[in-house]
C-alpha cells in the first residue's frame, strides 16, 4: 500500500472517532444532569435527538459546501466545529446552553458523515467494504470510549462539565491530523475530490427512498438505544453501574462485528441476508428485555445487530450507484432524511416514559419498528432494485 494511502486511512480513522462522543457521552450522565439541571425525560432526549436531527438537516448543506470548497476542507473545518461545540460544555451550567452545544456539535457531525462515503468511494473504489469497516470501527470505538469513560471522568474531575468537555481534545487532535495528512497528501487529487458532491440528490428515486427508509428506521432504533438503554435497565431494577456496563457492552461489541462483516460479505455477499440476520439479533435482544432475561446479554444481541446494520446501510447507496459523485449524493439523501427520522426515536421514548412512567411500553414499540424495518429491508434489496442482493 502506498504511503499516501496509509496517511489517508489514518486520517479517515481519527476523523471517524469524533462522530459519536458528543452524543454517547451524555447517556451515562443523564441521572446527574437530571439531578443538577432538573430535566425531564423529554428534554433529556433532545440532547441525543438534536445532533441526530442536525445530521439530517445539514447533510445537503455539506453537499453544496463540498462542491464549492472541496471535501477535505469541509471535513477539516467540521472537525473544528465539533471540537468547539464539545469544548463549550466545560462552561455549561444550564439546560439551554447544553442544548446549544448539542446543536453546534451536531452541525459538525452532520457535515462529516455523508462526505466520508463519497470520500471512500473516490480514494478506495476497489476496497469499499474494507474502508467502510475502518470508518465504522473508528466510529464505534469513539462511541465505546465516550460511553465507558463518562462516569470515570466525572469521578476523576468531580465535574460532569469536565467529563463532557474532555472529548473536545480528540476532535482538535483529529483536525490537526486531517489537515496534515489529507490536505497535504491529497493535494494532487483536490480537484476531483471537490467534485464528489456535484450530483443531484435522488429525491424522485423510489429505490433511494427505500434505502433512506431503511436507514431511518435503523436510526430510530439505534439512537433510542443510545439515549435510553441505561434508564430502561435501571427501570428493571438494576443498578446504575450495571446499566452503564450493559450500555458499554452494547457499544463495544459493535467493533468486532464491524471487523468481521467485510469478511462474511466477501463469502456471502447478499445484503438482504445480513440485513435481516442483524435485525433478528436486535429483535432477540428486545425480547430478552421484555422478559427481563439478563439485560447485559440483551444488550450484546442488540449491539451485534446495530453494528452490522449501520455498516450495511452505509453500503446500500454505494452498491446502488455507478460513481463516487452519485454515491455521495445518494448517501447524503439517505442520511439527510434518515437522520431526521432517526431523531424521532429518543424523543418518542422520552414521551412514552413521561406518559406511562415506564419504558416497557417503549420496548414494545421498538419491537414493532424492528419488524417494520425488516419488511423495508426486503423491499430495498429486491432484485429489481439491486444487482447484488
CATH code for position 317: 1.20.1250.20
Q: In 10 A of CB 39, how many CB atoms?
A: 19
Interval 55-66 mean pLDDT = 80
Interval 159-186 mean pLDDT = 87
Q: Is residue 208 part of a domain?
A: yes
Confidence at residue 387, expressed as pLDDT on a 0 to 100 scale: 42
Interval 188-195 mean pLDDT = 46
Instruction: List CB contacts of 43: < 8 A, sequence separation 6 or more.
Output: 95, 350
Q: Is residue 386 part of a domain?
A: no
Q: Place 8 in a pLDDT band, splitting at 50, 70 and 90.
A: confident
Q: Is residue 385 part of a domain?
A: no
Interval 177-184 mean pLDDT = 77
Q: Is residue 363 part of a domain?
A: yes
H helical segments located in the chain? 3-16, 21-24, 30-37, 41-57, 59-69, 71-87, 95-123, 128-157, 160-165, 168-178, 184-185, 190-194, 206-235, 240-252, 254-267, 271-290, 295-320, 324-356, 360-380
Q: Is residue 14 part of a domain?
A: yes
Number of domains in the chain: 1
Q: Is residue 389 part of a domain?
A: no
Q: Is residue 387 part of a domain?
A: no
pLDDT tens-digit series, residues 267-312: 898 999 999 999 999 999 999 999 999 999 999 999 999 999 998 9
Confidence at residue 248, expressed as pLDDT on a 0 to 100 scale: 86
Q: Place 62 in a pLDDT band, splitting at 50, 70 and 90.
A: confident
Q: Which of 190, 147, 187 is nearest to 167 (CA)?
A: 147
Percent of the chain predicted with pLDDT > 70: 93
Interval 214-225 mean pLDDT = 94
Q: Is residue 354 part of a domain?
A: yes
The residue range of the domain holding 185 is 3-380
Average pLDDT, the chain: 86
Confidence at residue 195, expressed as pLDDT on a 0 to 100 scale: 45
Confidence at residue 179, expressed as pLDDT on a 0 to 100 scale: 85
Confidence at residue 186, expressed as pLDDT on a 0 to 100 scale: 52
Amino acid at each position: 500500500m502506498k504511503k499516501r494511502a496509509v496517511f489517508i486511512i489514518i486520517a479517515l480513522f481519527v476523523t471517524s472517532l469524533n462522530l459519536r462522543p458528543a452524543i454517547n457521552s451524555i447517556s451515562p450522565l443523564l441521572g446527574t444532569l437530571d439531578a443538577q439541571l432538573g430535566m425531564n425525560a423529554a428534554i433529556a432526549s433532545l440532547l441525543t435527538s438534536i445532533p441526530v436531527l442536525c445530521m439530517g438537516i445539514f447533510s445537503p448543506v455539506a453537499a453544496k459546501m463540498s462542491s464549492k470548497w472541496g471535501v477535505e476542507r469541509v471535513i477539516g473545518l467540521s472537525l473544528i466545529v465539533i471540537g468547539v461545540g464539545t469544548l463549550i460544555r466545560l462552561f455549561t451550567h444550564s439546560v439551554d446552553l447544553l442544548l446549544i452545544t448539542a446543536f453546534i456539535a451536531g452541525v459538525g457531525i452532520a457535515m462529516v458523515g455523508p462526505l466520508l462515503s463519497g470520500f471512500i468511494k473516490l480514494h478506495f473504489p476497489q476496497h469499499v467494504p474494507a474502508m467502510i469497516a475502518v470508518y465504522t470501527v473508528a466510529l464505534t470505538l469513539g462511541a465505546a470510549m465516550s460511553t465507558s469513560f463518562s462516569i470515570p471522568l466525572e469521578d476523576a474531575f468531580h465535574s460532569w462539565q469536565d467529563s463532557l468537555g474532555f472529548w473536545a481534545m480528540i476532535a482538535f487532535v483529529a483536525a490537526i491530523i486531517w489537515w496534515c495528512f489529507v490536505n497535504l497528501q491529497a493535494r494532487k487529487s483536490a480537484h476531483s475530490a471537490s467534485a464528489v458532491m456535484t450530483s443531484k440528490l435522488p429525491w424522485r428515486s423510489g429505490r433511494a427512498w427505500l434505502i433512506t427508509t431503511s436507514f431511518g428506521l435503523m436510526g430510530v432504533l439505534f439512537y433510542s438505544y443510545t439515549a435510553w438503554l441505561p434508564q430502561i435497565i435501571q427501570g428493571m431494577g438494576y443498578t446504575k453501574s450495571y446499566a452503564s456496563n450493559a450500555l458499554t457492552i452494547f457499544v463495544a461489541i459493535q467493533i468486532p462485528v464491524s471487523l468481521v462483516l467485510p469478511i462474511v460479505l466477501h463469502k456471502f455477499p447478499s445484503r438482504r441476508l445480513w440485513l435481516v440476520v442483524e435485525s433478528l439479533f436486535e429483535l432477540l435482544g428486545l425480547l430478552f428485555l421484555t422478559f427481563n432475561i439478563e439485560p447485559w446479554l440483551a444488550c450484546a444481541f442488540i449491539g451485534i445487530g446495530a453494528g452490522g446494520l449501520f455498516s450495511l446501510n452505509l453500503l446500500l447507496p454505494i452498491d446502488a450507484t455507478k460513481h463516487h459523485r452519485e454515491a455521495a449524493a445518494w448517501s447524503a439523501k439517505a442520511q439527510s432524511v434518515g437522520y431526521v427520522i432517526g431523531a424521532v426515536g429518543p424523543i418518542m421514548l422520552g414521551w412514552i416514559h413521561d406518559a406511562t412512567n415506564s419504558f416497557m411500553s417503549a420496548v414494545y414499540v421498538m419491537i414493532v419498528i424492528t419488524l417494520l424495518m425488516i419488511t423495508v429491508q426486503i423491499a430495498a434489496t429486491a432484485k429489481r432494485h439491486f444487482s447484488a442482493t
